[in-house]
Amino acid sequence: MKDSIKQRFLRYVGIDTQSDESSETCPSTKKQLVMLEMLRDELLAMGLNDANMDENGYVMATLPANNGKTSPVIGFISHVDTSPDMSGANVKPRIIENYDGGDVLLNQELKLVLSPSDFPEMKQYQGDTLIVTDGTTLLGADDKAGVTEIMTAIEYLTSHPEIKHGPIKIGFTPDEEIGRGVDFFNVEKFGADWAYTMDGGEVGELEFENFNAAHAKVNIQGRNIHPGYAKGKMQNSLLMAMEFNALLPVFDRPEFTQDYEGFFHLIKMEGSVEKAGIQYIIRDHNRALFEKRKTTMLQCAEFMNARYGDGCFSVELKDQYFNMREKVEPVYHIVETARKAMQALGIEAKIKPIRGGTDGSRLSYMGLPCPNIFAGGHNFHGKFEFVPLESMEKATRVILKIVELNA
């Protein structure tokens, strides 16, 4: 199984599937369709005769039950796109056999080193096979590791018909990295009672709660006057933006928070003396605190308008996703099933909140409860990304064990 996982993963990361948040199409980039079409064809070749890709690039397929009884319909979902944060073109993965626990030279020319002094979690993979980048691109384990694990598990089940199982649904989506991964996902067509996204990090991660999330855009209207004659007249919108930001609590920033703590994250600032705009993402696991954070943004704008004049500040708030815990807790047995699957394989389940979002969050609110399971990778979205081959094998075996427990 391990060699099959390696070859499949290397094939998948060789396809550039970077998404584009500036695009208005679905998928946001046509190159994602190359991999999605490949996955559809591979599923058809495995005997999943209903495998199809719709007009938006979503791939769905069914492995029919072979256990002769009525069982829950479970699904496994991953996304094919890679982050816009760094290039996903011409990925040249390197294989580090029997990793010795020390530094890994990624790129001699760039003098780029992947080191456990920076990433101490590397130490736990001593003796494993690491797949790393060449230092010029991301790797794409987010989420081609998850895709690989699902495809390998399905291939294993189709070649071992003696393993009894209920109906299994497979789904592959575009554009998760730009927050649009399930915009057109047809839950009714998918037809699962519940599902799991294979999109987590290190071995053992099991997540059924995540941030509530919103985006805030603050528009600032200043007043530009010739600087030689500006006294008492000029209102510099760039300085006004800085003043607005200073009203927010300093220690409620990402770099000072952890676990269940939420934050305001300034992600963009642009403009001139006359006019400026600043953008934030707002996050909190607690729904009441999340709503309070949005109210704080509006109160800051009110304060600034009282200082500089009505209409100088306006805030556009848009909810992005909500904590899936509310939808998963009523069917918590699906989390317990995943935990038991890991336990049976000698894997300690690390149940913790996601400090981010997942397709599973939105799917849970669309009627498909969908916890998240580890895919095995580390340092996503950048040149220091790596994934141990053995971690992908463990994730694949977790899928198979969940299938067995639901048979």
Q: Is 339 helix (H, G, I), strand (E, B) or coil?
A: helix
Instruction: Please list the pLDDT of the chain residue by residue as tens digits (407 residues).
Output: 999 999 999 999 999 999 999 999 999 999 999 999 999 999 999 999 999 999 999 999 999 999 999 999 999 999 999 999 999 999 999 999 999 999 999 999 999 999 999 999 999 999 999 999 999 999 999 999 999 999 999 999 999 999 999 999 999 999 999 989 999 999 999 999 999 999 989 999 999 999 999 999 999 999 999 999 999 999 999 999 999 999 999 999 999 999 999 999 999 999 999 999 999 999 999 999 999 999 999 999 999 999 999 999 999 999 989 999 999 999 999 999 999 999 999 999 999 898 887 889 999 999 999 999 999 999 999 999 999 999 999 999 999 999 999 98
Q: What is the DSSP string of 269-335?
A: EEE-SSEEEEEEEEEESSHHHHHHHHHHHHHHHHHHHHHH-TTSEEEEEEEEE--THHHHGGGTHHH
pLDDT at residue number 395: 98
Within 8 A by CB and 6+ apart from 92, the residues are 133, 134, 136, 137
| β-strand pairing of 194-200 with 74-79 | parallel
Known catalytic residue at 162: no
The pLDDT score that the predictor gives to residue 32 is: 98
Residue 374 contacts residue 204 (beta carbons within 8 Å):
yes
User: Rounded CA gap, 343 and 363, in Å?
Assistant: 26
Report pLDDT for 187: 98
Residues contacting 388, CB < 8 A, separation 6+: 99, 125, 128, 129, 130, 131, 376
User: Annotated catalytic residue: which of 16, 142, 149, 176?
Assistant: 176
Closest to 289 measured CA to CA, from 179, 209, 353, 213: 213
Angle, CA of 395, 155 and 202, to the nearest 5°: 10
Question: Within 10 Å of residue 152's Cβ, how many Cβ atoms?
Answer: 24
pLDDT of residue 330: 96
Token pair, residue 45, equals 């070749």
* Residue 259: both structure tokens together: 């676990």
CATH topology of domain 212-320: Alpha-Beta Plaits (3.30.70)
CA separation for the pair 30, 17 (Å, rounded): 8
**Model's pTM, two decimal places?**
0.88
- CA-based nearest residue to 257, from 233, 230, 289: 289
199 is catalytic: no
DSSP calls for 16-36 = --B--TT--SSSSSTHHHHHH
Whole-number pLDDT of residue 179? 85
Domain limits, the chain = 2-209+323-405, 212-320
Q: According to CATH, what is the number of the domain 2-209+323-405? A: 3.40.630.10
Q: What's the pLDDT score for residue 398?
A: 98
* E strands, 151-305, in order: 168-173, 194-200, 205-207, 212-221, 263-271, 275-284
Spot the catalytic one: 81, 128, 175, 205: 81
